[in-house]
Chain A
Amino acid sequence: MEITNRPLSPHLQIYKPQLTSVLSILHRVTGVALVVGTIPFVYWLVALAAGPDNFANAQAFFGSVVGQVILFPWVFALFYHLCNGVRHLFWDVGLGFELKSVYISGTVVLVTAFGLTLLAYIAAYAMRGGAG
Chain B
Amino acid sequence: MRLRTPLAQARGLGAAREGIHHWWTQRLTALALIPLSLWLVASIITITGADYATAAQWVRSPVVAVLLLLFIAAAFYHAQLGMQVVLEDYVHEGWAKVATIILSKFLMIALAFVAGFAVLRVALGG
Contacts and interface: CB of A to CB of B under 8 A. Distances in A.
B114 A56 contact: no
Interface residues of B, number: 37
Given A89-B27, A120-B41, A38 B48 contact: no
Contacts of A124: 45, 48
A15 interface: no
B79 A38 contact: yes
Contacts, number: 89
Interface in A25-46: 28, 31-32, 34-35, 38-39, 41-42, 45-46
Interface of B: 27, 30-31, 33-34, 37-38, 41, 45-53, 55-56, 59, 68, 75-76, 79, 82-83, 86, 108, 111, 114-115, 117-119, 121-122, 125
Interface of A: 28, 31-32, 34-35, 38-39, 41-42, 45-46, 48-49, 51-52, 55-56, 59, 63, 75, 78, 82, 85-86, 88-89, 92, 120, 123-125, 127-128, 131
